[in-house]
Amino acid sequence: MTLLPAEKPARVLLIAPERSYRTGAFVLAAQKLGIELVVASFGEACLATRYGGLALNRESQTEALDTISRAVSGNRFSAILASDDETVALAGMASERNGLPGNPADAIKALTSKIHFRRFCESTDILGPGFMALDSEKLDRGAPPGVRYPCVAKPARLSASRGVMRCDNPGDLDQALKRIHRLLYSEGKLGKDAVLVEDYIDGFEYAVDGLVNQGSLQVLAIFEKPDPMLGPFFEETIYLTPARLSHRVSDQVIKSLEILCRKLGIVEGALHAELRINSSGVWFLEIAGRTVGGRCGRILEFQTGCSLEELVLANSVRLPVIAGQSSGSCGVMMIPVAQGGVLRRVEGISTARHVRNIVDVEIDIREGQILVPWPEGCAYPGFIFARGRTVADVERALRAAHRCLNFVLAPQWPITTGPPVFNGPSPLGIKDSI
C-alpha cells in the first residue's frame, strides 16, 4: 500500500494527552506525507506550545473548545483528530463546532462509553450481551438480583481489560464488585454507571481495525486472538493477521461492522472493534474511535508498508491510497504479566530475538519498576513481533520467543508508616529502646 503525498500541504490538528506515546509517531507520519500537524495537549508544562502547538485546559472543556476554535478560525484546517481514547470526545465536539469532518454526538457517545454502546445495541437488532449498569454505591451490596451466570463484570471507564472478570456464581460476582470498587477508588473514577455486569458470550474472539471516510468503511485488518478468552481475567496476549477465517465468515464480520457503523451514524475516522463469533453470529463487545492500542499497530505496517498513523492522517485529509500486494502473515505478543513484583532483570532477550520468524523483541520495563498482573494491571512489560509464511508459523514463533524470556522479580513489600512495632522480645535478647 502506498500513500501519495499531498500536492498542497494540508493542516491537521491532533489532540493528544501530554504523555501520549503516539504523538511522535503522528509527527513523523505528517512529515512523511507533507501534512502540517499542529498538536494540542494538556498540562501546565505542555511541550506542544514550544513547537507551535496549543495548550488546553484539562479542567474546563469549554475553555479547551474555545482555544481550539480560536486556532482553527481563519486558518485552513482539514481535520481535527484524537490520538487516544482520552481525547476522542473532545476532538469530535471540536470538529462539529468548527464545521470539520466528524461524527455526530450520538456516535461519539457510543465510541467513548461502554454503557451507551450497550444501550444502543439493546435498542436495535445488533447482537450484544444483556447487561445492567451499577452505580458506585451499589458495589459493596453483593451480587444484584436478576444476573444470568456466567457473567462478566467490568469497569465502564477503564480500558485494556483492567478490572474485567468472569463470574460463575453470585459469590464470584460479590468478590469481583468489591475488587472493582477498590480499583476505581484508586483511579478516582467512582460515580454513576461505574460498572457493567453483562452476559458472558462464548465464542472465538477477534478485533477489527478500520477507517471510515464519508460513511465508507475500509477494513485494515481482522486480528485473530488465538488464546482462549475464557476468564476469569481477560488480559490480551497475541494478535495475528490475517485471521484464520473462511471468506464467508470474514465477509460476515465486515458486513456486520458496516451495518453497525451505519446504524450508529459513524461516518469518519479510525475504528477499533472487539467481537466474538459463535453459532448465533457476530457479537460486538466494544467499539472505539481509535486504532489498535499499544505498539500492535506495527503489524499493520508489516502488512501495508505504511504506518498506522500515516493511514489515519491520509484518511482524514482524503489523500489517495494505492493498494499494494502483501504476502505472508504477522503477529504481535503483548507479553503477559504472570506474576507481580519488582523487576530485577529480564533474561533471554537475545535468544528470543534469534527465534526463527521473530522480527523484534521490545522490553519496555526497567529494573526497579513494578509488574502488576491483571485485572488490576494495565502495562505490558514489552512486545514480541513476528512475520512468517503462515499464521501458524507466526504463532509458533511468538510462543517460542516468549518461552525464552525469564522475568526475575523481587517481592514487593508493603509500605508502612510510623515507628516499627515489635511483638515480643528482641531477637538478640536486648531490650528494645527508642
> Is residue 434's pLDDT more than 90?
no
**CA 1/CA 366 separation, integer angstroms:** 36
pLDDT in tens, 336-365: 999 999 999 999 999 999 999 999 999 999
Q: Where in the chain is the domain with CATH 3.30.470.20?
A: 327-413
Is residue 426's pLDDT more than 90? no
CATH 3.40.50.20 boundaries in the chain: 2-109
Q: Is the pTM above the cut of 0.85? A: yes
CATH number of 2-109: 3.40.50.20
User: Residues 361-420: pLDDT tens digits?
Assistant: 999 999 999 999 999 887 899 999 999 999 999 999 999 999 999 999 998 776 554 444
Which regions of the chain carry the CATH code 3.30.1490.20? 129-199
pLDDT in tens, 102-123: 999 999 999 999 999 999 999 9
Task: Say which CATH topology domain 129-199 has.
Answer: Dna Ligase; domain 1 (3.30.1490)
**pLDDT at position 63 over 80:** yes
CATH 3.40.50.2300 fits 327-413, yes or no: no
Q: Is the pLDDT reported for residue 52 higher than 80?
A: no
Return mean pLDDT, the chain: 88
Mean of pLDDT values over 199-206: 96
CB 209 within 8 A of CB 292: yes
Evaluated on CA atoms 228, 288, 311, 282, the torsion sign reads: positive
